Amino acid sequence: MQQVQQELLAALAQALESLSEGSGDKARFETPKVASHGDWAVTAAMQLAKPLGRPPREVAESLKQALLRSNAGQRWLSEVDIAGPGFLNLRLQPVAKQQVVHDILQQSTQYGHRAPHDQRVLVEFVSANPTGPLHVGHGRQAALGDAICRLLATQGWRVHREFYYNDAGVQIQTLALSTQSRAKGLKPGDAGWPESAYNGEYIADIAQDFLAKKTVTADDRAVTANGDVNDLDNIRAFAVAYLRHEQDLDLRAFEVRFDHYYLESSLYTDGRVDRAVASLQASGHTYEEDGALWLRSTDFGDDKDRVMRKSDGSFTYFVPDVAYHLAKWERGFTKVINIQGTDHHGTIARVRAGLQAASKQQGLHIPTGYPDYLLHTMVRVMRGGEEVKISKRAGSYVTLRDLIEWTSKDAVRFFLLSRKPDTEYVFDVDLALAKNNENPVYYVQYAHARICSVLAQSPEKWPEDPAKLDLSMLDSAEAQALMMALSRYPQMLTQACQDLAPHDVTFYLRDLAAQYHSYYDAERILVDDVPLRRARLALVAATAQVLRNGLAVLGVDAPERM
């Protein structure tokens, strides 16, 4: 089907060029909103009508005739209609649609993938400071980040996954003092309990293990407690390692991995923050006022200037962010995607302004839109018809581990990816547990398991050699509709990657599952007619492969039995 599309697109481009030189780049096919209108639609006639000074339908007629005369048109098209103000509706020959089954069975897990290229991309996500368990917001970010990394990989990118966090500063000091207080026998509500302390039960767990002089090992650090309640430095190091280890456990349960952990503190110890500040000052885009150092970020489109260094000598939080992104650029990552909560919206303009000022001073040629940002809203959790707000372990919020334990890794991933990131999402625990068509992940996984059951009952051994398959009998309306749905997968992947929109994959999978269920209800697959049975088995085997491929992009399993 990809070959069919390429040949017809080339014929359309040639037809457009014959009408207007340079217009071949307008050659593209769209999916009609109403399936009965055709398999593909072309809108180029309406775009060319005004420049050519001709009525759109007249231009459409010229394109129609050129397509029907072309070798690709004669081979693959059954009909071309002109509709409305100048739409071209194309109907494909059954043999054109049948090509997709060959493509899928031959390409298997690589169907829809593009060839690898040398371009690198860094995706930073989760980046949670080790001050408590990961909450469901972190879960949404983990699902988004991992799915986007997988999407990028399907399009040939070399993907680097990075987790950035702070192991020093005010929050970490609060963690250390909270753990110290617990180790000394205090608890929330007692006299002497720090007012700003973390109150979750996890603090008591850290303190207990600290007193037991345990060793904790995370992916990026290992610390042994000495049990001395007066050694705040050891308590701090142990608590950070303990919570990093807990984060690792949560992320492994969620099947999310990282290539590198980057410490905010290293930006100071390596001198990157000082060098970034010096570069910004040398750029001529800073000034001092009221004892503070300001970045004239309005020079780069920000709505107001921003404080870099406060009057007490400490840096505001966007300064290390600028230093961190300069480090990303220096490491060769000219494409960077940051996945963060919507509360980070205000940092975008100031970080980009700082990067532009430094880039100008250092001659780095950093693009004005660097880095890319994907912002997501938080998640509300409903259970038993009521909103759940508190986890005993965390003290004030529902954790990612809670959600996985209540439902499953697959349900959490699919649900958290099923809406646009910037829309609020309500996670319904009861729906995630339901075994019916209202549960989207169950609906998709059941379609795959249903196909596996059919294949298991077949007299033929699958997969068959695609080259030996005769698919000419796949000519019913239901079979052709299913093949057209399968053919949309590669373009959907490409567009979802460009738009950073993994929710498009969930929408596609639900539509494909619905198309398969309709086909299954319309045509018996395990018929006595051997050639017909083999053709239908090939179609459903291809459908199972695409369901598996799409679920893999989301990090969701494709069970063979349910």
Length of the chain: 562
Q: Cα(211)–Cα(228) distance, rounded to whole angstroms?
A: 7
Edge-to-edge order in the sheet of strand 386-388? 386-388, 379-383, 425-428
Provide CB contacts within 8 A for 121, sequence distance 6+. 152, 157, 158, 159, 160, 333, 335, 336, 337
pLDDT, residue 393, reads 60
pLDDT, residue 450, reads 96
Residues 63-92 as b/e (b if ≥16 CB within 10 A, e otherwise) read bbebbeebebbeebbeebebeeebbbbbeb
pLDDT, residue 397, reads 84
| Cα torsion angle, 331, 334, 339, 343, sign | positive
Model-level pTM greater than 0.85? yes
Antiparallel, parallel or unpaired: β 120-124 and 158-165? parallel
| Cα torsion angle, 178, 184, 189, 194, sign | negative
Segments in the chain below pLDDT 70:
390-395, 462-464
Give the number of other CB atoms < 10 A from CB of residue 519.
Answer: 23
Both structure tokens of 8: 């017809």
Q: Fill in the amino acid letter for 350.
A: R
pLDDT, residue 394, reads 60
Q: State the DSSP string of 463-499.
A: S--GGG---TT--SHHHHHHHHHHHTHHHHHHHHHHT
